[in-house]
């Protein structure tokens, strides 16, 4: 039995192929771009190749993310809140709170037993403090996105960044550069501004004893460090934090098939 979870996000589309033993046998992360349907098919093709299987081998596809309703061949669409909760709980069963910072939104999810959602708060009205925000800031400072985290940890002096609006923050960064402030200090200030924003979401839903961070921004060690300091906690971070939503979708597909098979057996016995 093989299933697929497809998470169509604003910046990336993530696909996971999972077997009946809940093992990820193949996955892919591709850019969504302007054509979400095409990205979903491309991601699925890459994941299938890595899993060394064919599309006909997949018994069920569950989609999630903002583009979940346009994935061709998906039998079911599930919200990203549910899928991230399910995926985080699967990877780290002790998870009490999930912090997910994606391409253009961020969310905090508090879990109850079994990985079910108890409460959540979401910032989806603008790109403040998200992956897209960090991309714009990296361009403004001529810093590679992958270098932002390590360089911010070299900061020697704290610099306050007062705005997280992408437009205003970019102007503020340009002004700080003109003042001669060190790039490392500005990066650190940006990361702490993001941590302040996310911490307010955590306070709204409640902080569990164990926090798991997902989404592409979890790869930025500067943001992680600022958040851990602000929340006085050490985070659990998956090896590939971008595919957690897709993992959750794949698990939901397996659960659906198991329930269907159990129903078929009950019906046959009757």
Q: 103 and 137: one domain?
A: yes
Of 200, 197, 210, 211, residue with least CA distance to 169: 197
Residue 254 in any domain: the answer is yes
Q: 65 and 191: one domain?
A: no
Confidence label for 266 from pLDDT (cuts 50, 70 and 90): very low
pLDDT in tens, 185-222: 999 999 999 999 999 999 999 898 899 999 999 999 99
Domain with residue 256: its CATH number is 3.30.420.40
Q: 111 and 196: one domain?
A: yes
Query: Residue 134: which domain range?
Result: 95-237
Residue 90 in any domain: the answer is no
Cross-strand bridge partners of residue 5 = 16, 62
Of 4, 130, 131, residue with least CA distance to 58: 4
Q: 149 and 134: one domain?
A: yes
Average pLDDT estimate for 9-18: 94
Q: By the 8 A CB rule, do 6 and 13 touch? A: yes
25-34, long-range: CB < 8 A, 24+ apart: 25/50, 25/51, 25/52, 25/53, 26/50, 26/51, 26/52, 26/53, 27/240, 27/243, 27/246, 29/240, 29/242, 29/243, 32/8, 32/67
Q: 190 and 263: one domain?
A: no
Residue 89 in any domain: the answer is no
Average pLDDT estimate for 42-60: 97
Q: 131 and 261: one domain?
A: no
Q: In the chain, how many domains are there?
A: 2
Do strands 2-8 and 58-65 pair parallel, antiparallel, or not at all (unpaired)? Answer: parallel
Question: Would the pTM of this model clear 0.85, i.e. be above it?
Answer: yes
């Amino acid at each position: 039995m093989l299933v697929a979870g497809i998470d169509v996000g604003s910046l990336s589309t993530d696909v996971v192929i999972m077997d009946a033993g809940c093992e990820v046998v193949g996955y892919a992360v591709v850019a969504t771009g302007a054509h979400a349907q095409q990205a979903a098919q491309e991601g699925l093709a890459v994941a299938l190749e890595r899993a060394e299987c064919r599309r006909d081998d997949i018994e069920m596809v569950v989609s999630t993310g903002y583009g979940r309703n346009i994935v061709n061949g998906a039998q079911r669409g599930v919200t990203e809140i549910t899928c991230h909760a399910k995926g985080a709980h699967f990877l780290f069963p002790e998870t009490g709170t999930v912090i997910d910072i994606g391409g253009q939104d961020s969310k905090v999810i508090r879990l109850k037993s079994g990985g079910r959602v108890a409460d959540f708060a979401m910032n989806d009205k603008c790109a403040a403090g998200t992956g897209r925000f960090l991309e714009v800031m990296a361009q403004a400072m001529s810093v590679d996105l992958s270098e932002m985290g390590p360089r911010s940890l070299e900061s020697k002096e704290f610099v306050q960044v007062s705005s997280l609006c992408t437009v205003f923050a970019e102007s503020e960064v340009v002004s700080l550069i003109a003042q001669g402030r060190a790039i490392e200090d500005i990066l650190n200030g940006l990361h702490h501004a993001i941590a302040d924003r996310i911490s307010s979401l955590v306070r709204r839903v409640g902080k569990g004893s164990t926090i798991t961070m997902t989404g592409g921004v979890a790869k930025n060690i500067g943001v992680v460090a600022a958040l851990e300091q602000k929340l006085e906690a050490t985070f659990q971070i998956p090896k590939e934090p971008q595919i957690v939503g897709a993992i959750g979708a794949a698990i939901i597909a397996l659960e659906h098939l198991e329930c269907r098979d159990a129903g078929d057996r009950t019906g046959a016995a009757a």
